[in-house]
Amino acid sequence: MNIFKRRHFKYDIIIWAVRWYCKYGVSYRDLEEMLSERGVKVDHCTIYRWIQFYAPKILVKLKWYWKPTFGHSWRVDETYLKVKGKWVYLYRALDQAGNTIDFYLSTTRNSNAAKRFLGKALSSIAAYSRPKTINTDKNPAYAKSINELKLAGKYPLDLEHRQFKYLNNLIESDHGKLKRLINPTLVFKSIKTASATIKGFELIRMFKKGLFDAWKYGQDILGDINIITHNLLAL
- How many Å apart are CA 5 and CA 153, to the nearest integer? 45
Residue 130: the pLDDT is 84
Residue 28: the pLDDT is 95
Q: What is the 3-state secondary structure (H, E, C) of the chain?
A: CCCCCCCCCCHHHHHHHHHHHHHHCCCHHHHHHHHHHCCCCCCHHHHHHHHHHHHHHHHHHCHHHHCCCCCCEEEEEEEEEEECCEEEEEEEEEECCCCEEEEEEECCCCHHHHHHHHHHHHHCCCHHHCCCEEECCCCHHHHHHHHHHHHCCCCCCCCEEECCHHHHHHHHHHHHHHHHHHHHHCCECCHHHHHHHHHHHHHHHHHHHCCCHHHCCCCCHHHHHHHHHHHHHCC
Task: Name the stretches of the chain with pLDDT < 50.
Answer: 1
Residue 156: the pLDDT is 85
Q: What are the phi and psi torsion angles at 209 (to 5°)? A: -75, -10
Q: By the 8 A CB rule, do 113 and 89 touch? A: yes
pLDDT digits (tens, 9 = 90+) for 102-120: 999 999 999 999 999 999 9
Fold observed for domain 68-179: Nucleotidyltransferase; domain 5 (3.30.420)
pLDDT digits (tens, 9 = 90+) for 22-47: 999 899 999 999 999 999 999 999 99
Q: CB within 8 A of 189, min separation 6: which ones?
A: 83, 84
Residue 40: the pLDDT is 95
Domain residue limits, the chain? 11-62+212-233, 68-179
